[in-house]
Amino acid sequence: MRVGIEVGGTFTDLIAVGPEGVQVVKVPSTPDAPDRGALAALDEAGVDLARVTDLVHGSTVATNAVLERKGARVGVFVTRGTRDLFALQRHDRRAIYDLHYRKPEPVVRRRDICEIDERIGPDGGVVTALAPDSLTRIAAFLEAGSFDSGSYDAVAICLLHSYANPDHEAQVAAWVQALAPDLPVTCSHNVSREFREYERASTTALAAYVQPVIKGYLGRLSDALSGRGFTGRFSLMQSNGGRMPAEAMAGNPITALFSGPAAGVIGAMGLAARSGHRDLITLDMGGTSTDVALIADGTPTLASQTEIDGLPVRTPVIDIATVGAGGGSIAWVDDGDLLRVGPQSAGAMPGPACYGRGGTEPTVTDAHLLRGTLQADVLLAGRMEIDRHAATAALKPLADRLDLSIADLADSVIRIAESNIVRAIQQVSTERGHDPRDFALVPFGGAGPLHAARVAEELAITTVVVAPNAGVLSAAGLLMSDDVHYRARTDRTRLSPDTLPAIRACLADLRQEVQTYMTAVGIRGSLSFEHILEMRYVGQAFEVSVTVSENTDSENTDGDETHALNVAELEAAFADAHHKVFEFSKPPGDPVEIVSFRVGARAQTGGLPSQPPAPSPPASARQIAITEGGDQRQCRLIRRADLRPDVSADTTSAPTQGPILIEDQTATIYVPPGWQVHADTAGALILEREA
C-alpha cells in the first residue's frame, strides 16, 4: 500500500492506494499539532501501517514557523562589515504610497549576528585570510548567547562571496561543530551557492530558522508511525515538485516551504494528461488561499526564487501565484463601504461559521451555503454537520450595511473571490507571455471546482478538467511525484565558442554533485537530468532561465547531455525566453552571459493507478435553488457517479447541460448555464462552454 498525506490550512487530506483500490479521506486539520491531523487521517481511513511501503507527506509546518515567527533562535556568522545585511535588505518599497510601510521583519535579530574577520573576493580569491583569533571570538559568541540568557538552537553561516569559494565557511562550520557538536549548522554554500548576498543570507537564515522545527516535527511523526508498525519509506514533498527522504529533508527543510501547492500541481499535471490535456492552468482553492500555476506542454514553470512573508528564498520552486481567496476567506467592508474578500481567513479553527466550531465571521463557504451552491448534506458526503443559522447570522450584518438580501450578498462575496482568482491567474499567464485561452483550467481542492467555470469565463477559457477525487488532488500528487534534487552555482561566463568547454565542465561538476547526493540519501535507480542556465545580456541586472535541450547535438552518443551545447541555439533559446518576459530581445550577436548554472536529477517512483468511478445504483436528481447575478434559478443536484463513460466502448458519457451541481466525495462541482459536462474514460469530468 502507498499513502499520501497533505496537511492544509483547513483540512488534512489522505489518499491510500493498494490492492483494494483507491481510498480517500478528508479530516479537519489541527494547526497547533499538524502531526495529530495526519494521524487522525490514517485512523479515519483505517490504514494498516504495517502494509504501507511508501508514505509521502506534504506539510505547512515550515511555512507556519516563518509566518508565525515560531522558529529556532539562530546565531549567524557573517563577514566583518556585513552585520546589517538582514536589516538593510534591498532598496525596494513594496507599498510606495503607504506612509507607515515597514520592511519585512527578519527572522534574525541584530544582536544574534557575529562578524568574522575574513573576506573572499567575487572571483573566489582570498582577500583577507580567516583571522587566527576567530575561533576564540566564535566560542565567546556561542557562550554568551549574544548577551541573552539561554543558548542558540541553530547556527547559520553566510560569508561574503562564499558561493565562489566556500573554504572559509567550511572552516567556521568545523569550529562551531567542534565547540557545540549537537548544534545544527547551516552554511550558505550548501543551501544556495549563488550570488546576491542578501538573498543568499536570507535563504540560509530561514533554513536554519526552520530546521529544528522540521527536525522535531518529522521525528515525532516518524516515531508515531513506527509505533503503529510502519517500516516503509517516508518522504517529504518539496517546493520544486519532487520529494526526498524525510531524513534528507530534516537537514535542508527550506526546500519544503510550499510542498502542498507543489504537490497539487504535480497531481493536476499527471491526471489531466490522462485526459489528453498537457497545456494547463491549475486552480487549487482550499480553506485559506488559492494557488494557481501554469503548465506548458506537460511541464510546470520552475522559478529560481520565491518569497515568504516578504523574505526572499533562493531555491527552485514551481512558479505558483497565491491569493487570499479560500473557502475560509473572510468578507468585510472597507472604509469606503466597498465589499472585500480576504486575505484574512477563518482557518481551520474556528473555521467558517457554518462549520459550527464557534466561527462568527462571514466566509466564502458560508456564502456558498446561503447562495445554494453548497448543500448541507453534500459537504464531505454528508458526514460533516452544517449550521445554516450560524452562516446566516455571520452574513446578516454585512447584508444590512450594504442593503442587500442575504442571497445577493452571498453571490457578491463569491464573485469578488472569483475576481481575485482571475487576477492571480493573469500573473502566471498573460504576465508571463501566455494566452490563457490556449489552456485548460484544472480546478481542485475542496472549493476549486465550485468556482472553475465562472473563472474560466472571465479568462475566455473554454475547457475545464475536473480530475477524480479533486478535493484531495494534492495528496494524490504526493504519490505521483518523483525523487528530485537540484544543485546550483554562480559562475559568470560570457557565452562564446571559446567558453563552451568551461560551461560543459561546470554542468558536469554539478551533475556529479547531484548524483553523489542522491546516492548518499539512499535513492537508487536510473536518474534523468535537467540543465538550466540563468542568462542575461551583458550589462543587465537580472537574468532569465533557459533549459538546455538534451538533443541539440545529433552526434552526442555518450548519453551526457552536457556535451550537447551549441552557441547559436543557446542564444536563440535565451532570446525567446527573454522576449516572453520583457517583450523584446536584442539582435543575434549581442553579448550574452551565463550567471548561474543549475542541474536537477529525477528518479521516478511510480505513479497513481487510474481511478474509475465506483459502481453505484442510479439516483434521481433533485432540484435546488441557486441565486446568481441577482436571479434565482432552479438547478439539478446529481452525483458524480451518475456521469459515467461507456468504458466497454471507450467513449465518453453524453454531454449534460448546465445548470448542474455535482456532488462528489471530496468536492462539489458547479456547471453553470451555458456549460455542459461529460465524463471521459480516464475518470475526469470535462466541462465545456457551449458555442
Rounded to the nearest 10°, the torsion over CA 282, 285, 289, 293 is 0
At 559, list the grid cell: 548519453
Query: Is pLDDT above 70 for 184?
Result: yes
| Mean pLDDT, rounded, for 272-285 | 94
Most confident region among 192-206, 552-566, 638-652 by mean pLDDT: 192-206
pLDDT at 366: 94
Q: Could you report the per-residue pLDDT of 231-243, keeping only the tens digit for each?
A: 999 999 999 999 9
Q: From CA 189, how far away is CA 230, in angstroms rounded?
A: 35
Which amino acid is it at 211? Q
Rounded to the nearest 10°, the torsion over CA 634, 640, 641, 645 is 100
Q: Could you report the per-residue pLDDT of 352-388, keeping only the tens digit for each?
A: 999 888 889 999 999 999 999 988 776 655 567 788 9
Residues of the chain with pLDDT > 90: what percent? 62
pLDDT at 382: 55
Most confident region among 70-84, 144-158, 318-332 by mean pLDDT: 70-84
Query: Is pLDDT above 60 for 323?
Result: yes
At 462, list the grid cell: 473554454
Q: From CA 442, how far away is CA 463, in angstroms rounded?
A: 9
Conformation bin of residue 497: beta by default, left when phi > 0, alpha when psi is -120 to 50: alpha
Which amino acid is it at 336? G
- Per-residue confidence at 402, pLDDT binned at 50, 70, 90? very high
Most confident region among 18-27, 202-211, 634-643 by mean pLDDT: 202-211
Q: Could you report the per-residue pLDDT of 541-551, keeping only the tens digit for each?
A: 999 999 987 54
Mean pLDDT of the chain: 88
Query: Is pLDDT above 90 for 174?
Result: yes
Q: Could you report the per-residue pLDDT of 39-65, keeping only the tens digit for each?
A: 999 999 999 999 999 999 998 888 888
pLDDT at 551: 42
Cβ count near 115 (within 10 Å): 16
CB 290 within 8 A of CB 326: yes
pLDDT at 279: 95
Residue located via cell numbers 468536492: 667
- Per-residue confidence at 146, pLDDT binned at 50, 70, 90? very low
CB 188 within 8 A of CB 159: yes
Q: From CA 411, how far away is CA 225, in angstroms rounded?
A: 44
| Mean pLDDT, rounded, for 446-464 | 94
pLDDT at 347: 75
Task: Please tell me whether the peptide bond between 31 and the residue prior to it is cis, using omega within 30 degrees of 0.
Answer: no
pLDDT at 97: 86
Query: Is pLDDT above 50 for 557?
Result: no
> What φ, ψ does residue 510 adopt, rounded to 5°?
-65, -40
Higher pLDDT pick, 21 / 295: 295
Q: Packing angle between helix 134-144 and helix 167-179, nearest 10 degrees?
A: 50
Higher pLDDT pick, 273 / 649: 273
- Per-residue confidence at 313, pLDDT binned at 50, 70, 90? very high
Q: From CA 478, how far away is CA 261, in angstroms rounded?
A: 10
Q: From CA 263, how far away is CA 243, in angstroms rounded?
A: 9
- Per-residue confidence at 317, pLDDT binned at 50, 70, 90? very high
- Per-residue confidence at 326, pLDDT binned at 50, 70, 90? confident
Rg, the chain, Cα only: 26
DSSP string, 95-133: -TT-TT--PPPPSS-GGGEEEES-EE-TTS-EEEPPPTT
Which amino acid is it at 252? N
Query: Is pLDDT above 70 for 191?
Result: yes
- Per-residue confidence at 556, pLDDT binned at 50, 70, 90? very low
Most confident region among 31-35, 297-301, 502-506 by mean pLDDT: 502-506
Most confident region among 213-217, 287-291, 655-659 by mean pLDDT: 213-217
3-class DSSP state of 615 = coil
